[in-house]
């Protein structure tokens, strides 16, 4: 499933590259039945990820999306990775793109850590896991397109997101009614956080190589990424 979605995302980007580069101001995706982007300018997206936040996240008012962000920040223990993905998308849509990058990485890392503690293949969990992966694959090209306008800031945002995930454990991981992977849950959680930090360090090392950084910059230039994502 992940590979198929990656292909779809690649095709979308290829079609966009074939047209003249224009600023990408919204994240145009749908992940049914949870989310569908607004179909016309000014209209509301369809959001069904969390009854507490759906109305705020579907609002076209920046203040409402900020209110959702602040409420989630104040009480994050039971907020699903999928809800965090939608928060990131809506923050991008209302122009708060640095916030969008941070919460996208929070959502992604919380989801990965969860999958290294809980058996996401279990009945009732697989659909949510697949949907979260869909959000990551389909929204990633847009949010990362902006994030890598400033590689140093991207690295900082990713590191801060992992710290946030470590400091705000997702309580669902420790609920006895959910099937866990073999081993102690707390120990697996600590290991998963270590894995997240290792992935971030590997990414930093990759882009720290001058050749890799130059190749990446050349690809961005060829695809007119600055025109699409680095506008002010």
DSSP string, 18-85: HSPP----S---EETTTEE--SSTTPPPEE-S-TTTHHHHH-S-HHHHHHHHHHHHHS-TT--HHHHH
Residues near 204 by Cβ (< 8 Å), separated by ≥ 6? 155
Mean pLDDT of the chain: 92
Residue-wise pLDDT tens digits, 156-195? 999 999 999 999 999 999 999 999 999 999 999 999 999 9
β-pairing, 46-47 vs 35-36, is antiparallel
User: Percentage of the chain surpassing pLDDT 70?
Assistant: 91
Residue 179 Cα to chain centre, angstroms: 25
- Ranges of residues in the chain with a pLDDT under 70 are 1-20
**Residues 74 and 124 sit within 8 Å (Cβ to Cβ):** no
pLDDT of residue 199: 97
pLDDT of residue 14: 42
pLDDT of residue 20: 58
**CB count, 10 Å around CB of 201?**
11
pLDDT of residue 16: 44
Comparing CA positions, the residue from 190, 137, 91 lying closest to residue 83 is 91
pLDDT of residue 1: 41
């Amino acid at each position: 499933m992940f590979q198929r979605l990656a292909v779809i995302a690649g095709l979308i980007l290829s079609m966009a590259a074939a047209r003249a580069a224009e600023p990408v101001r919204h994240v145009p995706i749908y992940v049914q039945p949870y989310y569908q982007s607004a179909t016309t300018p000014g209209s509301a997206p369809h959001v069904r990820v969390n009854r507490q936040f759906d109305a705020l996240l579907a609002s076209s008012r920046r203040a409402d999306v900020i209110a959702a962000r602040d409420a989630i920040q104040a009480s994050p223990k039971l907020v699903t990775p999928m809800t965090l993905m939608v928060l990131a998308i809506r923050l991008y849509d209302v122009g708060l793109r640095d916030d969008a990058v941070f919460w996208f990485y929070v959502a992604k890392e919380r989801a990965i850590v969860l999958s290294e503690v809980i058996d996401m293949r279990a009945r009732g969990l697989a659909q949510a896991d697949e949907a979260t992966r869909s959000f990551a694959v389909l929204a990633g090209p847009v949010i990362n397109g902006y994030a890598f306008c400033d590689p140093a800031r991207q690295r900082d945002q990713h590191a801060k997101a992992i710290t946030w995930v470590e400091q705000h454990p997702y309580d669902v991981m420790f609920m006895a009614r959910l099937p866990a992977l073999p081993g102690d849950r707390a120990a697996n959680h600590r290991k998963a956080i270590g894995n997240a930090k290792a992935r971030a360090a590997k990414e930093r090392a990759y882009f720290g190589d001058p050749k890799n950084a130059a190749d990446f910059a050349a690809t961005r230039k060829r695809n007119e990424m600055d025109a699409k994502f680095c506008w002010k």
